[in-house]
Amino acid sequence: MGYCLKLREPLADGLKRIFCEEIDAAVGLCRHPAKQRGVTVHEVRKHLKKLRAALRLTKNEVGKNRWASEDRSLREIGRLVSDLRDAHVRLQTLIQLREDADQQFARIEELLSMERESFSAAFSGWQKQAIPQLERADKRLSKWPLTDINWKQTCGVVAKTYRRGQNRLAKALKKRDPESFHVWRMSVKELWYQLRVLRPLNRLVLEEIASDAKTLGELLGRAHDFAFLLARLDKERGDQALYDELVQLQKLIRKRSKRLHRDALELGRRFYAEAAKAFAKRISIFIDRRKA
């Protein structure tokens, strides 16, 4: 079974199983990289994000300091390939834009391709650094004291993630800048991951919420990729031919980003319209049935 708890599985056992599965998957990718460019880096980072989202569910049980220490360790592993991942995302975003808009940006594409090759060479040994760090994390997490963790604690963490998303939506509405949308996106994705963990316990309620969170996260993700590429282009200088491409591409990105932000805010207002207490109650309906 994938990234979720099992119906007849003790909560502590289920969470530790999920920790182990995500680490094993990341280690497996490091040892046997995918053939397609960028896939290994993307998938390893995704497993780390899923692991961190599940890890937060235990925060009230293990304590803030212990949780924060482990979360930092996992973030550091992700940073081993952050520059390489960023270079790949910029190039892939450009290629997707080029195909969708049927416009050519040959000079910029060449520039970003060379940039990715440079980072690929610079970080060619990242897997050898990541594997021992992941294995040490696995040993630590297998010994985490989760014996007394309960469903009320877990649902309380998810409710806090929802409330954090509400606050970050409010900030994005006020500031309307890329950083605010990016920070909001992180809360949306974390909520989606946590709902996936709990989903089998009450599919009727949690699947619908998780589906909306996924859609919202995808909208914000595409907008973030555009903002990320735009920030890189704003730093570029070159001859007239390159300048002409930059102007065209920047105009296209801003137009599409505006549409994505509009759609994300529209969905976000609906998704986060429910009061945090009501949301907490709705996702906790299954608890009484689970009490032993």
C-beta neighbour count of 273 within 10 angstroms: 10
SS3 sequence of 95-118:
HHHHHHHCCCCHHHHHHHHHHHHH
pLDDT score for 292: 42
Do the domain assignments include residue 226?
A: yes
Euclidean distance between CA atoms 153 and 159, whole angstroms: 10
Euclidean distance between CA atoms 40 and 36, whole angstroms: 8
Residue 221, token pair as written in the block: 């993700």
- Looking at the fold, whether 176 and 256 belong to one and the same domain comes out as yes
Q: Phi and psi dihedrals of 103, rounded to 5?
A: -125, 150
- Looking at the fold, whether 203 and 129 belong to one and the same domain comes out as no
Do the domain assignments include residue 104?
A: no
Domains of the chain: total: 2
Q: pLDDT by residue (tens digit) across 209-254?
A: 999 999 999 999 999 999 999 999 988 877 788 889 999 999 999 9
In the chain, where do the E strands start and end? Answer: none
Euclidean distance between CA atoms 41 and 64, whole angstroms: 29
182 near 227, Cβ under 8 Å?
yes
- Looking at the fold, whether 142 and 211 belong to one and the same domain comes out as no
CATH number of the CATH domain containing 143 = 1.20.120
Give the pLDDT of the chain (292 residues) as one tens digit per residue: 589 999 889 999 999 999 999 999 999 999 999 888 889 999 999 999 999 999 999 999 999 999 999 999 999 999 998 999 999 999 999 999 999 888 889 999 999 999 999 999 988 889 999 999 999 999 999 999 999 999 989 999 999 999 999 999 999 999 999 999 999 999 999 999 999 999 888 888 899 999 999 999 999 999 999 999 999 998 887 778 888 999 999 999 999 999 999 999 999 999 999 999 999 999 888 765 555 4
- Looking at the fold, whether 251 and 223 belong to one and the same domain comes out as yes
Do the domain assignments include residue 102?
A: no
32 secondary structure, DSSP code: S
pLDDT score for 197: 96
Q: Which structural domain, as residue segments, surrounds residue 161?
A: 150-292
- Looking at the fold, whether 292 and 156 belong to one and the same domain comes out as yes
Torsion of CA 94, 100, 102, 106, to 10 degrees: 10
Do the domain assignments include residue 30?
A: yes
